[in-house]
Structure 1
Amino acid sequence: MALITLLLSGCVGTKQFKEGKYVLYKQKTVAPKSVNKEDLRQQLVQKKNRRLFGLPIFYYAAIYNQGLRNYDSAKYEAKKREIEKKYEAKIEKHVGKQRKINRLTTRRDNKLAKQDNILRNGNMFMRWGEPLVYFDSTQTALSVQNIDSYLISKGWFNASSGYTVRYFQKRAYVSYVSKPGTPYKIDSVYYSIKDPRIDSLVSNREDKILAKNQQYDQAKLVQERNSIETLLKNNGHFSFSKQYIRYEVDTTMGNHKVAVKMSIPLPPGETAHPYYVIDSVIFTTDASIQNSLNRKRITFPYEGVTYRYFDRQYSKKVLNRRIFVKPGLLYSKESTISTQRELANMDIFQFVNISYDTTGGKFITNIFTSPLSKYQFSSETGLSVTSYGLPGPFISASVKKRNIFKRLGVLNIDGHVGIEGVAAASNPENLYTIEAGANVGVTFPQFFLPFSDETKLRLGLFDPKTQIRIGGTYTKRPEFERTILNGTNSYSWKTNTNKQFRFNLFDINLIRTPFISDDYQKRLDELDSLGNNLKNSFDDALVTSFSLTYIYNNNYYGLGHVGRYFSASIEPGGIFNDLWTSTKFVNRDSLQLYTFVRLQADYRQVTPKGRKGTLAFKAKAGIAIPFGDEDVLPYEKYFFGGGSTSVRAWKPRRLGPGSYNHIDESGEVSYQYEQQGEVLLETSIEYRQKIIGFLQGAAFLDAGNVWTLREETARPGAQFKFDKFIRQIALGGGFGLRFDFSFLLIRLDAALKLVDPARPLGSRFILENGFNSPPYDDKSRTEPFVIHFAIGYPF
Structure 2
Amino acid sequence: MNRPVTYNRKKSFLVALLGVILMATQGCTGLRKLPEDEMLLKEHRLHITKEETFKDDRNVERELNRVLRPVPNSTLLKSRPRMWMYQVSGEPTGRGVRHWMRNRLGEEPVLFDDAYIDRNLRLLNNRLFNLGYFDPMVNHTLDSTRRTVAIDYHIHINKPYRIRALYPIDSDIPLARAINEQLAESMIRPGAHYSLEDLRRERRRIDKELKKQGYFFFHADHFLFRADSAAGDRQLDLYTVLRPDIPLSATKRYRVGNTTIHADYMAGMAADTGKSDTLSLPGGIYFTDALNQFNPSIITRAVFFKKDSLYNVTDHDRTLNHLMSLGTFRFVNIRFSERPGDDPLEGILDVRVLLTPIERRSTSVEVRGITKSNNFAGPGFNTTLTNHNLFRGAESFIFGLNGGYETLIGRQRTASSRELGLDATLSFPRFLLPAGWKTSPQVLAPKTNIAVGVNFMRRTDAFSLTSMKTQYGYTWNADPATQFRIYPVVFNLFVLGNLDKDMDGILVGGTLLRRGLFEQFVVGGQYTYVYNSRLKEPRQNDWFLLLHLDLSGNLAYLMMKHLIGVTPDENGGYGVFRQSFAQYARKDIDLRYYRQIGNGHRLATRFFIGAGLPYGNSDMMPYVKQYVTGGSTSIRAFHPRSLGPGTYMPPEEEAGTYNIYQTGEFKLEANVEYRFDITSVFKGALFADAGNIWRWREDEEVPGGKFSSDTFYEQIALGVGTGLRIDASFFILRFDFAFPLVNPGIESPGFFDPVRLMDRNWRRDNLVFNLAIGYPF
Q: Scaled by the length of structure 2, what TM-score is found? A: 0.84
Secondary structure of 1:566's match?
strand
Secondary structure of 2:708's match?
coil
When residues 450 and 204 of structure 1 are mapped into structure 2, their CA distance, relative to the original with a 3 A threshold, is farther
2: distance between equivalents of 1:633 and 1:660? 19
Could you tell which deviates more after superposition, 436-445 or 265-274? 265-274
**Structure 1 residues 213-252: Cα deviation after superposition (integer angstroms, max 9, x where no partner):** 2221111111121122222222112222333202210012
Conserved in 1, the CA contact under 8 Å of 2:517 and 2:621?
no
1: distance between equivalents of 2:23 and 2:674? 20
- Within a 5 Å distance, the mapping from 1:586-625 to structure 2 comes to 588=576, 590-625=578-613
For the pair 1:519 / 2:506, whether they are aligned, the reply is no
Could you tell which deviates more after superposition, 23-32 or 338-347? 23-32
Q: Give the match for residue 155 of structure 1.
A: 132
For the pair 1:547 / 2:526, whether they are aligned, the reply is yes
- Within a 5 Å distance, the mapping from 1:59-70 to structure 2 comes to 59-67=81-89, 70=90
2:433 to 449, 455, 465: 449
Amino acid at match of 1:700: F
Q: Scaled by the length of structure 1, what TM-score is found? A: 0.82
**Structure 1 residues 701-737: Cα deviation after superposition (integer angstroms, max 9, x where no partner):** 2222222223333223222333333332222223333
Q: Give the match for residue 355 of structure 1.
A: 335
For the pair 1:184 / 2:161, whether they are aligned, the reply is yes
Secondary structure of 2:159's match?
coil
Amino acid at match of 1:45: R
2:213 to 235, 240, 255: 235
1: distance between equivalents of 2:445 and 2:728? 33
When residues 249 and 631 of structure 1 are mapped into structure 2, their CA distance, relative to the original with a 3 A threshold, is same
Alpha-carbon distance, 1:394 to partner: 1.4
2:371 to 374, 378, 385: 385
User: What's the RMSD between the two structures over aligned residues?
Assistant: 3.7
Alpha-carbon distance, 1:263 to partner: 1.0
Secondary structure of 2:700's match?
coil
Secondary structure of 1:414's match?
strand
Conserved in 2, the CA contact under 8 Å of 1:322 and 1:339?
yes
Conserved in 1, the CA contact under 8 Å of 2:575 and 2:581?
no
When residues 334 and 269 of structure 1 are mapped into structure 2, their CA distance, relative to the original with a 3 A threshold, is closer
**Structure 1 residues 515-563: Cα deviation after superposition (integer angstroms, max 9, x where no partner):** 323311323478x69xxx7544444211122122111223369968545
2: distance between equivalents of 1:719 and 1:170? 65
For the pair 1:47 / 2:47, whether they are aligned, the reply is no
**Structure 1 residues 552-593: Cα deviation after superposition (integer angstroms, max 9, x where no partner):** 223369968545432121122221224787799x95361232
Unaligned residue ranges in structure 1 (runs of 5+): 80-113, 777-781
Q: Give the match for residue 344 of structure 2.
A: none
When residues 580 and 365 of structure 1 are mapped into structure 2, their CA distance, relative to the original with a 3 A threshold, is farther
Q: Give the match for residue 82 of structure 1.
A: none
For the pair 1:758 / 2:745, whether they are aligned, the reply is yes
2: distance between equivalents of 1:789 and 1:509? 31
1: distance between equivalents of 2:294 and 2:197? 47
2:473 to 490, 501, 518: 490
When residues 329 and 759 of structure 1 are mapped into structure 2, their CA distance, relative to the original with a 3 A threshold, is same
- Within a 5 Å distance, the mapping from 1:309-708 to structure 2 comes to 309-359=289-339, 362-421=348-407, 429-450=413-434, 452=436, 455-456=438-439, 458-459=440-441, 461-478=443-460, 479-524=462-507, 535-555=514-534, 561-578=540-557, 588=576, 590-628=578-616, 630-664=618-652, 673-674=659-660, 675-692=662-679, 694-708=681-695
Conserved in 2, the CA contact under 8 Å of 1:735 and 1:749?
yes
2: distance between equivalents of 1:438 and 1:579? 33
When residues 29 and 322 of structure 1 are mapped into structure 2, their CA distance, relative to the original with a 3 A threshold, is farther
Could you tell which deviates more after superposition, 323-332 or 4-13? 4-13
**Taking every aligned residue pair, what percent have the same amino acid on both sides?**
25
When residues 271 and 656 of structure 1 are mapped into structure 2, their CA distance, relative to the original with a 3 A threshold, is closer
Conserved in 2, the CA contact under 8 Å of 1:390 and 1:790?
no
Secondary structure of 2:216's match?
coil
2: distance between equivalents of 1:315 and 1:126? 53
Q: Give the match for residue 735 of structure 2.
A: 748
**Structure 1 residues 593-630: Cα deviation after superposition (integer angstroms, max 9, x where no partner):** 22221111223344444434433333222111222364
1:58 to 77, 80, 100: 80
Could you tell which deviates more after superposition, 225-234 or 553-562? 553-562
**Structure 1 residues 322-345: Cα deviation after superposition (integer angstroms, max 9, x where no partner):** 111110111122311221121011
Amino acid at match of 1:443: S
**Structure 1 residues 59-109: Cα deviation after superposition (integer angstroms, max 9, x where no partner):** 112112213xx228xxx7xx9xxxxxxxxxxxxxxxxxxxxxxxxxxxxxx
Could you tell which deviates more after superposition, 227-236 or 175-184? 175-184
1: distance between equivalents of 2:457 and 2:741? 34
Conserved in 1, the CA contact under 8 Å of 2:38 and 2:112?
no
Conserved in 1, the CA contact under 8 Å of 2:428 and 2:447?
yes
Unaligned residue ranges in structure 2 (runs of 5+): 1-20, 342-347, 567-573
Alpha-carbon distance, 1:160 to partner: 3.5
2: distance between equivalents of 1:233 and 1:740? 40
- Within a 5 Å distance, the mapping from 1:213-232 to structure 2 comes to 213-232=191-210
Conserved in 2, the CA contact under 8 Å of 1:557 and 1:563?
no
**Structure 1 residues 284-341: Cα deviation after superposition (integer angstroms, max 9, x where no partner):** 11112979xx984232314442212224332333322211111011112231122112
When residues 334 and 499 of structure 1 are mapped into structure 2, their CA distance, relative to the original with a 3 A threshold, is same
1: distance between equivalents of 2:479 and 2:28? 49
When residues 723 and 22 of structure 1 are mapped into structure 2, their CA distance, relative to the original with a 3 A threshold, is farther
Secondary structure of 1:466's match?
strand
Q: Give the match for residue 94 of structure 1.
A: none
1: distance between equivalents of 2:23 and 2:583? 58
1: distance between equivalents of 2:734 and 2:319? 40
Could you tell which deviates more after superposition, 566-575 or 266-275? 266-275
Conserved in 1, the CA contact under 8 Å of 2:377 and 2:407?
yes
Secondary structure of 1:766's match?
coil
2: distance between equivalents of 1:169 and 1:729? 54
- Within a 5 Å distance, the mapping from 1:94-113 to structure 2 comes to none
Q: Aligned pair count?
A: 726
Amino acid at match of 2:186: K
2:91 to 52, 71, 74: 71
Amino acid at match of 2:605: F
Conserved in 2, the CA contact under 8 Å of 1:195 and 1:266?
no
Secondary structure of 1:254's match?
coil
Secondary structure of 1:555's match?
helix
When residues 270 and 14 of structure 1 are mapped into structure 2, their CA distance, relative to the original with a 3 A threshold, is closer
Amino acid at match of 2:398: N
2: distance between equivalents of 1:271 and 1:493? 37
Alpha-carbon distance, 1:632 to partner: 0.6
Conserved in 2, the CA contact under 8 Å of 1:402 and 1:409?
yes
Secondary structure of 1:229's match?
helix
Could you tell which deviates more after superposition, 256-265 or 351-360? 351-360
2: distance between equivalents of 1:553 and 1:655? 30
Amino acid at match of 1:487: T
Conserved in 2, the CA contact under 8 Å of 1:615 and 1:688?
yes
1: distance between equivalents of 2:316 and 2:767? 56
Conserved in 2, the CA contact under 8 Å of 1:26 and 1:172?
no
Could you tell which deviates more after superposition, 202-211 or 594-603? 202-211
Amino acid at match of 1:351: F
Alpha-carbon distance, 1:428 to partner: 6.8
2: distance between equivalents of 1:225 and 1:560? 19
For the pair 1:305 / 2:252, whether they are aligned, the reply is no
